[in-house]
Amino acid sequence: MAVSRKMLDFAQKASWIRKMFEEGARLKELYGGDNVFDFSLGNPDLSPPPQFYDTLRSIVVQTGQGRHGYMPNAGYPAVRHAVAQQISQEQNVSLISDLVLMTCGAAGGLNVVMKSLLDPGDEVILLAPYFVEYNFYVDNHGGIPKVVQTGSDFTLDIDAIEKGLTEKTKAIIINSPNNPSGQIYAASSLKALGELLEAAQNRFHHPMYLIADEPYRKIVYDGHAVPSVFKAYRNSIIVSSYSKDLSLAGERIGYIALHPDMEDREPLQGALTMANRILGFVNAPALMQRVVGHLQGLTVDLGVYARRRDLFCTILSKSGYEFTPPKGAFYIFPKSPIINDVEFAEILSQQKILAVPGQGFGMPGYFRLAFCVEDHVIERSATGFTKAIEQAMDKNRQNSEET
């Protein structure tokens, strides 16, 4: 067979979102796009803020020698300086530009980090529920993903993490606000996690890294804030992008930031820069670097996402679904009313509602709904959600009677 067995296996494991996308295309062809309620993709639908277009227009017409040539692999110094200043405010830790490396989105950044940190057989802890591609990023660079469950409300379970640590543990990836649950990890939990990792690296005599994937940092609700990872642990790395808060997902622009007091910081800086080059990213897109350098701290209108979240929560509550209201990001992760989340996703699709089973995020028994869609799509889905849960409850009663 021409295709590697590993890639075929990866395609199967990563297929849930793709399957739901294909199912959505089929349903839209049959019933028309307005009659299908597609909550499967976390693709931000809001336009970037007006300042983005103003800045883009002003930069794209500028000419001069070398403006479209190669740059330092870590990115333009002026852009790295602007990003470092913004991160310093967010993390309450002073960063210099040398601690920032511009990347091709957060996905590119995570692969650069994995390439720089991992030796074959090193373990990386993933906290379920998690973004499914973390598995692949770890495997891409010889690591072994090790899944640890979070609490019933998707908060950090420090005891479970402690049990998951071994002498092979090299890193743990956290994602807060979380995709798919919308949970934000509390400052006290991050502090406890930092203390746990500090003790573990002393016990096992090698550094352990806390990698925070933060593309949803600015998308928060009800006055919540995302605590500083850098204040919690010195061997920490932040990876983020402008895909969600500026709605620039297709532009593939993000960054890596290192804690200023990190152990072996300078060798890691060099490794990250080299990995950025040899993985083929070479450097983040020149034009988008210049643009985001002028847009630090800006976001899309978060009030729109907040309104949609509230609308969705109201619909699901009235229909009888169990869920933890998201504090951030643009997802809701309800509990499936039947044990088999894949089967319930099929019941939803019969109502022309597209959701992703929790199995796709390492947590069976749940399903993810993305509310980065227009309000009317959420509003018109209400009847379908009610019919789906009623069908599921009937199925539960039938199964109970049969046993």
Does residue 163 register a pLDDT over 90?
A: yes
Establish how many alpha carbons lie within 13 A of residue 330's alpha carbon, considering only the half-sphere containing its beta carbon.
31
Rounded to the nearest 10 degrees, what angle do helices 341-350 and 382-402 cross at?
130
Closest residue by Cα to residue 273 from 262, 281, 261: 281
Residue 106 to residue 249: CA distance in whole angstroms: 10
Closest residue by Cα to residue 36 from 362, 349, 388: 349
Residue 360 to residue 350: CA distance in whole angstroms: 20
Q: 347 is written with which tokens?
A: 């019941």
DSSP 8-class letter at 297 = T
Does residue 397 register a pLDDT over 80?
A: no
Mean pLDDT value across the chain: 94
State how far the alpha carbon of 184 is from the alpha carbons of 8, 187, 295, 341, in Å: 34, 9, 24, 24
pLDDT band at 16 (very low <50, low <70, confident <90, very high): low
DSSP 8-class letter at 106 = H
pTM, two decimal places: 0.95
Percent of the chain with pLDDT over 90: 85
CB 101 within 8 A of CB 276: yes
DSSP 8-class letter at 262 = -
pLDDT band at 271 (very low <50, low <70, confident <90, very high): very high
**Per residue in 170-226, pLDDT tens?**
999 999 999 999 999 999 999 999 999 999 999 999 999 999 999 999 999 999 999
pLDDT band at 401 (very low <50, low <70, confident <90, very high): low
Q: Which domains does the chain have, with CATH numbers?
A: 5-48+300-402 (3.90.1150.10), 50-292 (3.40.640.10)
